[in-house]
Structure formats: C-alpha cells, structure tokens
Amino acid sequence: MSGLGGWVGRRLRRVFRIARRRSAELDSRRDEQDERRGSRSERLSGNARRDAEHIRRLLGEPPELVIRPIDGAESQAILVYIDGLVDQNQVAEHIIAPLTREPSAKAREPFPAQQSRLETLDGAASALLLGHCVLLRDREGATAYDVRNWAKRAVEQVQTEPTEVGPREGFTEDLATNLALVRRRLRTHRFRSEQFVLGEQTRTQVRLLYLAGIARNELVAEVRHRLRSVDIDGVLGINHVDELTSDNPLSPFPSTVTTERPDRVASMMLEGNVAILVDGSPLALVMPGTFSALLQSSDDFHQRFFYASFTRMVRWISVAVGLMAPSIYVSLISYHHELVPTRLLFTIAASREGIPFPPIIEAVLMEMAFEVLREAGLRMPRQFGQALSIVGVLVIGESAVRAGLVSPLMIVVVGMTAIATFAIPATPLANAIRLLRFPMMALAGVLGLFGVFFGFMLVVGLLVSSRSYGVPYLTPVIPVWFKGLQDATFRGPVWWHQMRPWYTARPGQLRRQPPGQKPQPKGPRPGERP
Amino acid sequence: MRYEISWWQVTAAIIAVQISFLVTFTPALTSSLPPVRESWLAVFISALAAGIIVAPVHSLAQRFPEQTVYEISRAVLGRYAGTVFNLLLTAMFVLWAAIAVRGFSLFLVSVVFVRTPQIVFVVCFLILALVGAREGFEFIGRISEMAAFLALVGLGAYYAIALPNADLGLLGPVLAEGWMPLLRQSLAGIGVFGETAIVGLLALPYLNRPSESAKALAFSLLLSAALVAAGAGLLVAILGPEGVALSAMPALTAARIVTLGFSLERLEWLLLVLWITTLGVRLTVLFFGACLGVSAVLPRLTVPAAAWPVAAVMLVLASIVQPTMPDVLNFFRPESYLRYALPFELAPALLLLIALLRGGQSTQG
C-alpha cells in the first residue's frame, strides 16, 4: 500500500514539475514577445512630423514643449526641446543658425559639444527631459544635442562642514558642476566616472567615481552591483541611494561618508575609496565609510599634524562625552554617591537642593528641551534665529535654574554634551550619538553604572558587527591595524603616510609613496662647518 | 560559515576571559593560603603549570586543523562516545557561564542594587551573550580586542595610581618558608590559567594562520600571568598579607582605599567597568561554546538558532545555582576551585591522549 502511495506521489510530483517548467517557459516567451512588440512600437518612424507628434503625446502635451520646424533645412526638419531646460542662445546659434544659413548642405550641421543618435521614442523623450534638444529629420533619424542650461546655484561656500584653513568651495545641485569640481583636483588618466540612471519616474543621473588601478576592484564591483540592483520609482537625493545600498539598513550609524566638500572626496578617492554623486544633491557619498573616517575633517589635512592629531583625539573624546556624559552623571547621582570624590559630592548636593525631580527626569527634560530648540533653530526662518537663541538661553540657562526645576550642574552636563556632539564632523554620526543618548540615560536611570556599561557594550557590539561595503566598521581600530592607526586615531605627518588602507586600495597599490620623504635639508647644520 | 580571526584576537579573548577573574577572585585564590606575601611568585608557578594543560590544545589544533572541539571529539571518540562527550562539554559550558553570571549578579544585588531582582542582571548578561554568540567567533574576537585593550589600559592605570599607596617592603622576605607552601599556594591558580585551554579550544579552529596557535596561547598565558602577578604583589603591598587573606575580593577592597591626591579616590568604578566588560566577553565565549555544542549534537540547529534554548536553560540555571554569596565565594576557594575546574580544563588533554592512542587524524582533507 505504501509502495503504491509512494509511486503515485512520485508521479504527481513529476507532473507538477513538468507543468511548472512549461508554465515558466510560456511566461518567458510571452515576455519576450511583449518586449519585441514594445520596442518596435517605440522606434522612431523616420517621419519628422509624425515623430514630433508622438513625442508630444508621450510627454502629455506639455505647454512648455517647443516643436519648431526648421524652414531652411534641405529635408523636413523639426527641432524639439523643453523651454526652461535648454540654453536658448546655444539653440539659436549652434543649432538653428547652421541649419538655416549655411549655403552648402554639408556645412549644415549643428555643432554643440555633445550629440547622440536616437533610435526610439523613449530615448528622445528621456533626452528632452535631460535638457537636450532633439532634431528630427525625415529619413535621417533623430539626433539629441546637449544644450542644457537650467537654473542652478553657483559654487558657494560649504554650509555643514566649515573649515578653518582648508578650501571653502562646496558641491552644488548640478551633477556636471560637481563632477568638474572633483575632476579639477584629480587630473589623472585613472579617473573613472560611470553613469547610472536610477528611479523609474525621476530618471536621476548618478555617477560612480573611482581611481582605476587604485580602488579595490571588489569594492568597485560591489558598489556597481548595489547601484544596479536599485529598483525604485524615485531617487530624490543622496540619502535614497545611501539607504538603498547600505550594509546595515537598521543601524542608526551611517555606513558611508556624506560630504559636500570636493576636496574631501578627492582625498578619499586617492586612498582607494569610491564616491557617488547624485544629480540634484549637493552632497557626495564616499564608501566604505568607517567610523574613523567619519571622525576625520577636511581641516586635518590643512594643518600641522600635531594640532590635527590633537583635534582628532578631541573628536573621539567628544563621541564618548556625547554618548555617555548625561547617563554617567545620572547614574552617579542616583546610585553611586560613594564613587564621587567627597568635595565634588558636597558641591553636587548643594546644587541639587530643592530640585523636585529625580536626576533621570531632570536629564531627559533638559535634553528634550535642547533637542526641541535645535530642531526649531533649523526650521525657523533665519531672521528669527537670534530671538530663538535668546529664548533658549533664558529658558534653559536662567529661568529653569531660578525656578528650581533643574540644577546648574545639569545645565553644565547638558551643555557640554550638546557641544561635544557639535564637535563631531559627520552630521549623520552626530545624529546617531544624539539618538542613542536617550536609551543610555534610561538604562542609567534604571540600572546605574551597570546600565551605562551594558548600553555601552551593546553599542560597541553593534559597531563591531557592522560593516561598510564589506569592511569592518571600526577598522583600523577593531580589528586593529597598527599602520592604519596613524591616520585614524591621530594624524601622522604626510611624509609618514606610506601606505594606503588595505581595505580600500588594491593589493598592488598599497604603497602611496616611497619611504624617505621626511625632509632633510642639505647643507651644514647649526654649529657644523660648511 | 567559518570566520577567521588573528592570533592577537585569540590572545585578547583569553586575556579578557582571565581578567574578569583577576579583578575579583584571582587574588583571593592565589593569596588566601599562606604564605600570602609570595602570591605574586605563586602566580608564575601556576601559569607554568597551566602551560601543561594548555599545550594539548595546540597539538589538537595542529592535528585537527579548522575543526571545532565537537568535531574533533566525534572524530576521536566515535559517534556515540563523541556525542556523550559533546553533551558533557556543553553542560560544562552552560554551568560555567551560569556560575559566572550568578557570581556577578549576586555581588551587584548584595552590594549595590539591593532592591533590584537578581534576574534583571542575568537577563542583561544573557542579552550580551546572545548577541555575541549569534554573530560568531569573528565578532567575539573583535569585541575581545576592545575588552583586552580596556583591561590593559585600565589595569595599567589602576596599578600606576595604586603604586604610591603600596609598601613594597611587605613583599619580603622571599621564600622564607621554603618552596612547599609556595607550591601549595600556586595550585589554585592553575585552575584560573587553565581556562586558556578552554578559550583556545573554541578559538583556534578559526585562527587565520594555524601555525600561530602556539604564539597566541603562550603570549596570552604570559601576559595574563604578568598582570595577575603584578596585581597580587600590589595588593599584598597595599593591604598587607593579613588584609589580603581576610578579604573576599581584595582588588575591590584595595580600590576603596587607593587615592591620588584629593581629587581621585575610590577606584571601584574602574574595576567594575573592567569586570563588566571582561565578564561580557567571558560569558559570550562560554555561551558560544554551549551553542556550538548544541548545534553539534543536534545538527539541524544552527549556532544562532541554538542560542535561544541555551539562553533559556542558562536563565533557569543562573537563578538556582550557587544560591547565596557565601556559596559563590566557597566555589572560588583555593581548596575547591581546582577540583571543579580541572575536569573541564583537562578535556583537550584527554582528547589528545585518546587521539594519540587510537592514531586519529583530521577527517578534513
């Protein structure tokens, strides 16, 4: 009986398998047919008037679409472009004039810098939306000319990553401008720029930049693969790309470096990093973004290494202060009085006299008040900024203490924490620290110092288990790479930086410069005879 | 999936596991038998003796490259005996981890958080262990690097601050009572340093260069011994031999009286930080060992999946084992500790012996 059942089962499974395979084959054949039919219908007909009409209908008959027949042309020619996206002067001088005024037919060719042949209606529509103008000619097909010139911001001083002595120009929203800003700093034949178009509806142009031969091939391939796998209807900024390609989508910590400084992008590309530019975004993504890279600032490379190293150490300390200062304060005051030096304990006790809230409530209230002020400061029109800071100072700094709601020491701790987070150069990292401060305070309020270190271990665990494009997030600190520490925890002198990081550069290209670059001026030393 | 770790990460894991002991119980272990003042010397003898327990781990790692202890046991002992061995070893890992958590949580409940239920601390440590064990030994290796760094810097700072409070004259005269009392004193320390064998057994299959296993084991043993010896000597020099012998946790007692000027006093927080950090690593290693064991006995369960039942068992066990603080302290008494630790720590030696007798070799190409 069981033998019969087994036989029937096997037969049934086989029948189902064959049916599934047939169905899959039929589906794929149908898809292929649909694709062929679609591409045929999308092809340009070669009749200029009919193609212009098709394009107009495809784009929804927008009033800003200009369809202009060219009178002097030998064959029927129609120029199509979208008003506002193209440079009218270029259209008139470089396209219309040669077509109408040149006596010989051979010379009647427009001459903008960039042009491309078009085969399909979709291609023509995409070109128009990119700011190209399309010339349709009977029997000769269609050509797109790059004459884009939409309203754009000039290159201005960077806003979010100010520098003391470094260069000041920052990216704009225009991809071509941004690309030029990076190229200007890396005049090498190794510079590679690969184009991707992301977003079904937005058709956003994205560029992948790297230095061929220096960036690790696996890294470039991985970034390329992740960009190709993005399938979404709209990409409106760099954060979309970041979130769609990140290694740790659920981590509060950023896994890429986001910067608006072309000099930072160039400097990181020299180390083998890969950068992404997105049209319409004044920021660049650089990957892999390790924790130590997020704590580097452009100023580090424009100042003497002693001072640069000092400021780097200050930033590491700022991370610790920003994350744990309020929680340590809360735990000491709530649970571990005995650990506070006696004199300090008296001072704290005096300052807390008459405060109605326990330290945890006090700390959360103050931190929340600060966050509200910060958020309001960002959203408010600039002209109200000063008024807001006055209110903030009076409410937080003065009145709350006088009303006996918070202790002056809590103001000091909250203020110190806020300043520490502003010392972190990468805003996404500072935001993550700011966010994690609240659960840390809650743990401190419930479990004291044990809670603080439990939270700290969880945060470290999260950081240790994270990766950025396959690279351990805490590299070169954990796992430790001693040579890399000279550019992570402190900034060694430039002549000392002989190696590129192993996790970004190609194995054969690890050597950045030969040894012996330390300057040793020739000639007699003081006290020596020439 | 097999991960790879460096010899330094193995060393860091071993140091972190042993430092979690050093902070609290090791000085008590090495110093509670007379002559207390030579406990720093006893530590070196213990470490040397522990080397004999640790050496088979290196031989096993060379003989059975890239195989976990549970795979080795089945290759050496056969299917059934290997499974029984694996079950026993897994039980030892769970028990050892439960005792570690129980000891720390009882200490917190009786000294600091007297109104907090003990299970809260057990759950916190189990969360840490769960996260670590589910991520695999690569994660444990990395977190150990951080913990070992903290331990080295923290202990270095503690010793440096404590040194002006020490009277080094209390350490002499050396060997005034001869060798025999010193050797007796060093017996308990063997149990502490013998843990190198357990961590090595779990870590070495993941070593990226198997030839460096001896370096990792020897270096970690030496560094731990140096740290423990310095700690033991310093405690005797601060508290005096009688003070150390009377105290259950002499390191914490000394931290209370150590001061630096008027501003830095009461350094228990530093030791507590080191204790929590290194205990987290210790527990994660033991927890990982237990999960690996369950996964070996029940091959359908992966290590991350095995972490949940192990956590449940450990939660129950950590609530019933060693019911009171005196029980915990008794467990760590020099007379009893070696008796409990040795069967666990001699497992690699036993495996190697049987492998040598049966001529067993690696089952992997």
Please state, in angstroms and rounded to a whole number, the distance separating the CA atoms of residues A89 and B361.
83
H-helix or E-strand containing A117? strand A115-118
Please state, in angstroms and rounded to a whole number, the distance separating the CA atoms of residues B119 and B130.
16
B 29-88 → A contacts, CB under 8 A:
none
At residue A353, the pLDDT reads: 85
Please state, in angstroms and rounded to a whole number, the distance separating the CA atoms of residues A265 and A282.
13
Which residue of B lies nearest to A448 if distances are taken between CA atoms? B113
Of B95, B64, B99, nearest to B82 by C-alpha is: B64
In angstroms and rounded to an integer, the radius of gyration of the C-alpha atoms of chain A is 31
Please state, in angstroms and rounded to a whole number, the distance separating the CA atoms of residues A355 and A403.
9
Please state, in angstroms and rounded to a whole number, the distance separating the CA atoms of residues B287 and B281.
10
Neighbour tally for A207: CB within 10 Å: 20
CA distances from B178 to B38, B124, B174, B340 (A): 11, 47, 9, 28
At residue A117, the pLDDT reads: 86
A vs B: CB pairs below 8 A: 75
Which residue of B lies nearest to A328 if distances are taken between CA atoms? B269
Within 13 Å of residue A470, how many CA atoms lie on the same side as its CB?
13
Report the top-level CATH class of B11-358.
mainly alpha
pLDDT, average across residues A84-98: 84
Strand stretches in chain B, DSSP E: 259-260, 264-265
pLDDT, average across residues A38-43: 57
H-helix or E-strand containing A52? helix A48-58
Most confident option among A21-30, B76-85, B102-111, B162-171: B76-85
Please state, in angstroms and rounded to a whole number, the distance separating the CA atoms of residues B261 and B16.
30
Burial B313-340 (b: 16+ CB within 10 A, else e): bbeebbbebbeebeebbebbbbeebbeb
Domain ranges of chain B: 11-358
Task: Say whether B266 and A447 touch across the interface (CB within 8 A).
Answer: no
Handedness of CA A105, A107, A112, A117 (dihedral sign): positive
Q: What values do phi and psi take at A135, rounded to 5? A: -105, 115
Chain A residues touching residue B9 (CB < 8 angstroms): 479
Is the pLDDT assigned to residue A40 strictly greater than 50? no
Q: Is A457 on the interface with B (CB under 8 A)?
A: yes
Please state, in angstroms and rounded to a whole number, the distance separating the CA atoms of residues A332 and A319.
20
Identify the residue with better confidence: A318 or B275: A318
H-helix or E-strand containing A79? strand A77-82
Query: If pLDDT is split at 50, 70 and 90, which confidence band does B42 have?
Result: confident
Interaxial angle between packed helices B137-162 and B268-297, expressed in degrees from 0 to 180 and rounded to the nearest 10: 160
Of A456, A475, A454, nearest to A466 by C-alpha is: A475
Most confident option among A15-29, A75-89, A215-229, A391-405: A215-229
Query: If pLDDT is split at 50, 70 and 90, which confidence band does A462 have?
Result: very high
At residue B287, the pLDDT reads: 93
Identify the residue with better confidence: A260 or A96: A260
Of B109, B135, B147, B134, nearest to B12 by C-alpha is: B147
Q: What values do phi and psi take at A512, rounded to 5? A: -85, -40
Neighbour tally for B218: CB within 10 Å: 16
At residue B255, the pLDDT reads: 83
Q: Name the 3-class secondary structure at A289.
A: coil
Is the pLDDT assigned to residue A192 strictly greater than 90? yes
Contacts of B54 by beta carbon, 8 Å cutoff, 6+ apart: B193, B194, B196, B197, B200, B217, B221
Query: If pLDDT is split at 50, 70 and 90, which confidence band does A77 have?
Result: confident
Task: Say whether B262 and A341 touch across the interface (CB within 8 A).
Answer: yes
Most confident option among A258-262, A299-303, B160-164: A258-262
pLDDT, average across residues B197-203: 90
Q: Is A440 on the interface with B (CB under 8 A)?
A: no
Contact yes or no for B165/B238 (Cβ under 8 A): yes
Within 13 Å of residue A44, how many CA atoms lie on the same side as its CB?
26
Mean pLDDT of chain B: 84
Domain ranges of chain A: 48-146, 175-289, 301-472
Chain B residues touching residue A448 (CB < 8 angstroms): 112-113
Identify the residue with better confidence: B300 or B337: B300
At residue A262, the pLDDT reads: 94
Q: Which residue has the tokens 């990093």?
A: A273
Listed range (A139-143, A281-285, B30-34, B255-259) with the worst mean pLDDT: B30-34
Contact yes or no for A104/A55 (Cβ under 8 A): no
Listed range (A106-115, A167-176, A249-258) with the worst mean pLDDT: A106-115
Question: Going edge to edge, which strands form the sheet with A191-198?
Answer: A191-198, A204-211, A274-278, A284-287, A257-259
Contact yes or no for A310/A492 (Cβ under 8 A): no
CA distances from B319 to A147, A391, B66, B105, B290 (A): 76, 53, 36, 10, 18
DSSP for B252-274?
HHHHHH-EETTTEE--HHHHHHH
Task: Say whether B112 and A450 touch across the interface (CB within 8 A).
Answer: yes
Q: Which residue has the tokens 């970041």?
A: A242
Please state, in angstroms and rounded to a whole number, the distance separating the CA atoms of residues B340 and B347.
13
At residue B243, the pLDDT reads: 81
Chain A residues touching residue B143 (CB < 8 angstroms): 460-461, 464, 478
Mean pLDDT of chain A: 85
Listed range (B22-31, B69-78, B84-93) with the worst mean pLDDT: B22-31
Q: What is the pLDDT of residues B319-355, one digit of tens each?
A: 888 888 788 877 877 677 788 888 888 888 888 888 8
Chain B residues touching residue A450 (CB < 8 angstroms): 108, 112-113, 121, 124, 272, 276
Listed range (A98-112, A384-398, A472-486, B277-291) with the worst mean pLDDT: A98-112
Query: If pLDDT is split at 50, 70 and 90, which confidence band does B364 have?
Result: very low
Task: Say whether A479 and B142 touch across the interface (CB within 8 A).
Answer: yes
pLDDT, average across residues A6-34: 73
Query: If pLDDT is split at 50, 70 and 90, which confidence band does A277 have?
Result: very high
Residue A499: beta bridge partners? Answer: A511
For residue A501, cis peptide bond before it (omega within 30 degrees of 0): no
Neighbour tally for A496: CB within 10 Å: 16
Task: Say whether B272 and A472 touch across the interface (CB within 8 A).
Answer: no
Alpha-helical segments (H) within A246-304:
262-270, 291-294
Query: If pLDDT is split at 50, 70 and 90, which confidence band does A102 have?
Result: low
Distance from CA of B139 to the nearest CA of A (A): 6
Is the pLDDT assigned to residue A432 strictly greater than 90? yes
Q: What values do phi and psi take at A148, rounded to 5? A: -65, 145
pLDDT, average across residues A20-46: 65
Can you count the helices (H) and strands (E) in chain A? 18, 12
At residue B309, the pLDDT reads: 92
Is the pLDDT assigned to residue A22 strictly greater than 80? no
Task: Say whether A457 and B266 touch across the interface (CB within 8 A).
Answer: no
Chain B residues touching residue A449 (CB < 8 angstroms): 269, 272-273
Query: If pLDDT is split at 50, 70 and 90, which confidence band does A514 have?
Result: confident
Contact yes or no for A292/A477 (Cβ under 8 A): yes
Most confident option among A94-98, A454-458, B41-45: A454-458
Which residue out of B15, B124, B277 would a mutagenesis test of the A interface target, given it has the greatest number of A Cβ atoms within 10 Å? B124
Which residue out of A329, A346, A465, A473 would a mutagenesis test of the B interface target, given it has the greatest number of B Cβ atoms within 10 Å? A465
Which residue of B lies nearest to A480 if distances are taken between CA atoms? B145
Is the pLDDT assigned to residue B267 strictly greater than 60? yes
Residue A23 structure tokens: 């169905």
Query: If pLDDT is split at 50, 70 and 90, which confidence band does A149 have?
Result: confident
Q: Is A519 on the interface with B (CB under 8 A)?
A: no
Residue A392 structure tokens: 């903030």
Distance from CA of B143 to the nearest CA of A (A): 7
Query: If pLDDT is split at 50, 70 and 90, which confidence band does A38 have?
Result: very low
Is the pLDDT assigned to residue A448 strictly greater than 60? yes
Is the pLDDT assigned to residue B213 strictly greater than 50? yes
Of B214, B211, B247, nearest to B232 by C-alpha is: B247
Which residue out of A345, A346, A453, A475 would a mutagenesis test of the B interface target, given it has the greatest number of B Cβ atoms within 10 Å? A453
Which residue out of A450, A471, A475 would a mutagenesis test of the B interface target, given it has the greatest number of B Cβ atoms within 10 Å? A450
Residue B330 structure tokens: 């008794």
pLDDT, average across residues B197-216: 90
Of B145, B159, B225, nearest to B192 by C-alpha is: B225
Please state, for a pLDDT cut of 90, what percent of chain A lies above it. Answer: 33
pLDDT, average across residues A105-122: 71
C-alpha distance across the termini of chain A, in Å:
109
Residue A343, Cα to own-chain centre: how many angstroms?
48
- Which of A447, A448, A453 is the closest to B277 by Cβ? A453
H-helix or E-strand containing A367? helix A359-379
Q: Which residue has the tokens 């709350």?
A: A400
Identify the residue with better confidence: B65 or A152: B65
Burial group, residue B359, by CB count within 10 angstroms (0-12, 13-18, 19+): exposed
Q: Name the 3-class secondary structure at A476.
A: coil
Q: Is B272 on the interface with A (CB under 8 A)?
A: yes
Neighbour tally for A494: CB within 10 Å: 12
- Which of A338, A450, A480 is the closest to B266 by Cβ? A338
CA angle A497, A500, A501 (to 5 degrees): 115
The residue count of chain A comes to 530
Is the pLDDT assigned to residue A41 strictly greater than 70? no
Identify the residue with better confidence: A515 or B295: B295
At residue B307, the pLDDT reads: 92
Q: Is B128 on the interface with A (CB under 8 A)?
A: yes
At residue B249, the pLDDT reads: 78
